[in-house]
Structure 1
Amino acid sequence: MAAAQSTLTPQEELEKAQKQLEEAQKALNIAKANAAKAQQEAKARQEAEAKAKADAEAKAKTEAIRRKIDEMKKETARLQEETAKVNAENSASAPAPTVNTPVSSEPKRNKTVGQQDAPANKQDAVVAKQDEPESTTEVQKPAASKKKEKIRTRLAPTGDDDDNETDMSIYLAKDAVPEVNGKVEWTDVISAPGKSADELYRLTNEYLTKLTSDELQLEGSQVAIKNPAKHNLTATVHEWLVFKNSALSLDRTEFYYVLNATCSNGKVEISMSRVRYKYDVQGKTDIYTAEDWITDKNSVNKKHTRLYPISGKFRKKTIDRKNEIFQTLEEFLQK
Structure 2
Amino acid sequence: MKKLIIAMMLALPMMCTAQEVLTPEQQLEQAQKQLKEAQEALAKAQEAKAKVEEQQAEVEKQKQQIEEQAARVKAEAERIKAEADKIKAETPATTNSGWTAPTQTPRKKTDVTRKENAKVYIAKDGRELKEDPIYLEGAVPVNGEGKVEFSLDLDVSGKSAAQLYDLAYAYLDTLTQDSHQVDETSRIVLVNKEEGVIVCVLKEWMVFRDNFFNLDRSEFEYQLVATAKDNHLNVTLGRIRYNYEPGRKTGFDLPAEEIITDKYGLNRKKTDLARIYGKFRKGTIDRKNQIFNDITAVVQ
> TM-score range, shorter-chain basis?
0.5 to 0.7
Partner of 2:114: 157
Partner of 1:214: 178
Structure 1 unmatched runs, 5+: 1-85, 93-97, 100-147
Secondary structure of 2:276's aligned partner: helix
Aligned residue pair count: 191
Within the candidate set 174, 177, 199, 2:140 is matched to 177
Within the candidate set 191, 196, 200, 2:164 is matched to 200
Is 1:224 aligned to 2:204, yes or no?
A: no
Are the aligned partners of 1:153 and 1:328 in contact in 2 as well (CA < 8 Å)?
no
Aligned partner of 2:210: which letter?
N
Are the aligned partners of 1:154 and 1:324 in contact in 2 as well (CA < 8 Å)?
no
1:329 Cα offset (Å): 0.7
Aligned partner of 2:279: which letter?
K
- State how far apart, in whole Å, the 2-side matches of 1:300 and 1:218 are: 28
Are the aligned partners of 2:111 and 2:179 in contact in 1 as well (CA < 8 Å)?
no
Taking the TM superposition and a 5 Å limit, the aligned residue runs for 1:1-335 are 87-90=95-98, 156-158=113-115, 161-162=117-118, 164-165=120-121, 167-173=131-137, 175-180=138-143, 181-219=145-183, 220-280=185-245, 283-284=248-249, 285-334=251-300
TM (normalized to structure 2)? 0.58
Aligned partner of 1:305: which letter?
T
TM-aligned CA distance change 1:154 to 1:191, over 3 Å: farther
C-alpha root-mean-square deviation of aligned residues, in Å? 2.6
Secondary structure of 1:325's aligned partner: helix
1:285-320 deviation line (CA, Å, top 9, x unaligned) = 420110011111112123211211110110011011
TM-aligned CA distance change 1:247 to 1:216, over 3 Å: same
Aligned partner of 1:157: which letter?
R
Structure 2 unmatched runs, 5+: 1-93, 123-130
1:199-222 deviation line (CA, Å, top 9, x unaligned) = 110110000000001122123110
- State how far apart, in whole Å, the 2-side matches of 1:282 and 1:249 are: 17
Q: Which has the higher helix share?
A: 1
- State how far apart, in whole Å, the 1-side matches of 2:188 and 2:119 are: 35
* Identical pairs, percent: 36
TM-aligned CA distance change 1:198 to 1:154, over 3 Å: farther
* Structure (1 or 2) with the larger CA radius of gyration: 1
Are the aligned partners of 1:155 and 1:324 in contact in 2 as well (CA < 8 Å)?
no
1:155 Cα offset (Å): 5.3
Are the aligned partners of 1:153 and 1:324 in contact in 2 as well (CA < 8 Å)?
no
Aligned partner of 2:296: which letter?
E
Are the aligned partners of 2:110 and 2:177 in contact in 1 as well (CA < 8 Å)?
no
TM-aligned CA distance change 1:291 to 1:87, over 3 Å: farther
1:165-213 deviation line (CA, Å, top 9, x unaligned) = 365211112x211111210001110222211100110110000000001
1:28-66 deviation line (CA, Å, top 9, x unaligned) = xxxxxxxxxxxxxxxxxxxxxxxxxxxxxxxxxxxxxxx
- State how far apart, in whole Å, the 1-side matches of 2:254 and 2:118 are: 26
TM-aligned CA distance change 1:162 to 1:280, over 3 Å: same
